[in-house]
């Protein structure tokens, strides 16, 4: 078990943690696929100075046995899917289901394969759209980075936002203005 006592991980620390999860999964069995949303695209995409206490796994686009993944995550020294209190000195893997968070429909894009572990993400326009409802300062930094790095057109993000429902849709539509400002 590794010592992951520093709460916020940068790209290198998250890659090491994912490698440790892959090793803990072993070689035998079906592939384990986790679809990362949120800050992972920025962190693993090399955004300077970007770190996070957690990696968000989008459950509808992931394929895993919960007990097997939980054991591998814990063997890597991380907390698996905290639902009440988060340990103040430990990074974690959070399983996210549709609801408050909306990502739109997509075909996952492969980021990395490590043994049985397949790490995917949504297309970048979906990640940007998912950040629009909350639109915190960190979200705006992520959006600016992702738009510049991947040359994402406003129209492609608008297409994803049209799939959103409820207050997330309203907030995302209002915050589309930031895409024009951040060009």
pLDDT at residue number 88 = 66
* Global pTM value: 0.93
Region 36-50 average pLDDT: 94
- The pLDDT tens digits for 53-84 are 999 999 999 999 999 999 999 999 999 999 87
- The pLDDT tens digits for 81-98 are 998 776 667 899 999 999
Compute φ and ψ for 44, nearest 5 degrees.
Answer: -75, -20
Return mean pLDDT, the chain: 93
Higher pLDDT, 180 or 118: 118
Nearest-angstrom CA–CA distance, 124 and 150: 8
Higher pLDDT, 84 or 1: 84
Helix (H) or strand (E) holding 147: helix 137-150
Residue 111, pLDDT > 90, answer: yes
Direct distance between the N- and C-terminal alpha carbons of the chain, in angstroms, rounded to an integer: 44
């Amino acid at each position: 078990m590794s010592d992951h006592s520093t709460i916020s991980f940068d790209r290198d620390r998250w890659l090491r943690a994912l490698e440790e999860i892959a090793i803990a999964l072993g070689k035998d069995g079906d592939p384990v696929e986790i679809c990362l949303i949120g800050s992972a695209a920025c962190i693993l995409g090399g955004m300077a100075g970007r770190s996070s206490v957690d990696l968000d796994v989008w459950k509808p686009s992931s394929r895993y046995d919960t007990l097997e993944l939980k054991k591998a995550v814990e063997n890597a020294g991380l907390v698996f899917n905290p639902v009440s209190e988060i340990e103040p000195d430990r990074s974690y893997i959070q399983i996210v289901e549709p609801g408050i968070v909306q990502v739109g429909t997509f075909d996952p894009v492969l980021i990395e394969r490590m043994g049985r572990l397949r790490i995917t993400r949504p297309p970048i326009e979906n990640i940007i759209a998912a950040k629009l409802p909350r639109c915190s300062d960190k979200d705006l930094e992520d959006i600016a980075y992702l738009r510049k790095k991947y040359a994402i057109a406003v129209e492609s993000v608008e297409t994803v936002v049209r799939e959103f429902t409820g207050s997330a849709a309203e907030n995302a539509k209002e915050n589309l203005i930031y895409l024009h400002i951040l060009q």
